[in-house]
Amino acid sequence: MSLDGKVATLTGQSKWISGHESRLRTHQLRDTYDAVLLGINTIISDNPLLNVCIPGYQGKNPIRIVLDSTLRIPLTAKVINSLSQADTIIATTAQADKNKLDKLTTKGISVYDTGNGSRVNLAVLLKKLFKEKKVTSILVEGGPNVSASFLSEGLVDKICWFIAPVMIGGHTSKGPPGFNRDK
């Protein structure tokens, strides 16, 4: 986040707020977790690969998990089209687009239905991830909404924040959970 507590500009621009060192550290962290998780809004705005990008890296990429309650994920998203030995899992709800569900499973993407709620049920998801993939650690790289969900449900063991030496400004620019002062 920026020095003034923002994770994105008013228009949602958030890519490359941090510097080279923090991006490298994030990739090093990805190497130590079973899975990396983020929300659909980050997929739509940044289109990340969610792999470990360290020169000469020979390790195993983490399982890639996307929270997407209605399956808004573009079929062109890098996370579902990149060649990787890592599995990609889309966590969704009963409101998921059934046509998109079929297209994703045809591509070899695992889709976990977490129930009837309007949002992905994190407790159900975590149980499925452990039972089906033996996931015991997840690096949550989600934006403010995903982070707030994990925090409010008491599902966070550790927080690692990178604070960039920049100012974004604007009282309605997006901040991390608890930092939006205009509410």
Model pLDDT for residues 83-130, shown as the tens digit of each residue: 777 899 999 999 999 999 999 999 999 999 999 999 999 999 999 999
CB atoms within 10 A of CB 45: 14
Q: Per CATH, which fold does 20-152 belong to?
A: Dihydrofolate Reductase, subunit A (3.40.430)
Q: What is the pTM of this model?
A: 0.86
Q: What is the pLDDT of residue 177?
A: 59
Q: What average pLDDT is seen over the chain?
A: 87
94 close to 116: Cβ distance less than 8 angstroms: yes
Q: What is the pLDDT of residue 14?
A: 61
Q: Is 169 left (phi over 0), alpha (psi -120 to 50) or beta?
A: left
Q: What would the pLDDT profile of 123-160 be if each residue is shown by its tens digit?
A: 999 999 999 999 999 999 978 889 889 999 999 999 98
What are the residue boundaries of the structural domains of the chain, listed by start?
A: 20-152
